[in-house]
Amino acid sequence: MEYLQEYPSDDEEEDDEKVESSDEALNSEISLNRLNQQPLLISTTTTSKLPSTVESLQLFLQNYLYQRHQMSSIYLYMPWRPSAASTMIIRALSSQLEHHLRERFGSQLKDYQLEKITTNPRDVGYHISLTRNIPCNSNLAVQFNKNITKAFESFEVDQLAIGEDLDAFALRKGISKLFGEEVALALTKKPLPCLQIRFKNTCVLFSNPDYSSLFLGLPIRSEHVPMFHRMRSTIDEVMNAMELPLDKENTPENYHLTIAICKNNISPSISPKVFEQMQSHMSSLTVDASKLEVSRPKIRV
């Protein structure tokens, strides 16, 4: 999950102009299954369309362009902008988990710093990774944009993944307490059904290849795994047809919401054996993720 951006020198301005159109295409935003056009389908015993009140699944294109070599890196993930209340819960969990990690592996982590995940548009933010970074030619990335958009036009969403927009509900409830129900009704929209992802009460730990970044996450609950398998199959079919390398490591069984990142910008000192011990230790912990739900999830590429 390393995101490297090259800043061109003055003599590379001409190259910048050449890739400008590709850059725009790679970072375009695409909405899949817009309401009143091609709604998503619910997976039930009989296939039926989502009610018009349910927000659609969306796809965003956010590729990282390597300007000198006309290369791009495709990375698919499901982003989430949590409410203030959810952010407080996440940060409390992050601090607790970091404490447990340092309590057991303090010497190995002395040069690692916990970085807060932000909602800055330049950052990935809170997210569920669907694939790892996949290097490819920029032209292929643009074509992948078109192909994956078409592939998801009729994607079916499990009934278990549909619920109320809890963030909108919490906002209305908060305004109601301060100013009364009438004011709350006037200032807010009625919470509508939306897509929701819930998490297990446990923790997972992952890293990049050289262990310079450690990622703390909350795994998705088992009932969501089948839907993510179908989502992943759709992605793999597109990649296979375009002869792009398939990501065989990051499978739906280990999909998780990344809630914290520990980085070492000096000299990573963790061996594979120690990292395995860290993973085992963190997975044995119990956390309370019952109040966290990713509402209105989207997919970014």
Q: Does residue 239 contact residue 245 with C-beta atoms inside 8 Å?
A: yes
Contacts of 211 (CB under 8 A, 6+ apart): 264, 268, 270, 275
Cα distances (angstroms) measured from residue 234 to each of 19, 143, 153, 215: 29, 16, 11, 26
Q: How confident is the model at residue 123 (pLDDT cuts 50, 70, 90)?
A: low
Kindly report, residue by residue over 15-32, the tens digit of the pLDDT.
Answer: 443 333 333 334 333 333
Mean pLDDT check: name the lowest of 44-53, 137-146, 156-165, 268-277: 44-53
* Residue 181: HSE in the Cβ half-sphere, 13 Å Cα cutoff: 0
In a domain, 5, yes or no: no
* Residue 68 backbone dihedrals phi, psi, to 5 degrees: -65, -40
Q: What is the CATH number of the domain that holds 99?
A: 3.90.1140.10
* Higher-scoring residue by pLDDT: 165, 178: 178
Residues 159-168: tens digit of each pLDDT: 777 776 666 6
Is the residue at 184 inside a domain? yes
What is the extent of the structural domain holding 104?
10-300
In a domain, 226, yes or no: yes
Average pLDDT over residues 31-47: 28
Residue spans of alpha helices (H) in 106-220: 138-151, 166-179, 181-187
Number of domains in the chain: 1
Identify whether 253 is part of a domain. Answer: yes
Structural contact between residues 1 and 215, judged by C-beta atoms closer than 8 angstroms:
yes
Give the position of tokens 């963190």: 282
- Residue 274 confidence class, pLDDT cut points 50, 70, 90: very high
**289 found inside a domain:** yes
Tally of CB atoms within 10 A around 127:
23
What pTM, to 2 d.p., does this model score?
0.69
Rounded to whole angstroms, the Cα distance separating 259 from 283 reads: 15
Q: How many residues does the chain have?
A: 301
**Higher-scoring residue by pLDDT: 198, 68:** 198
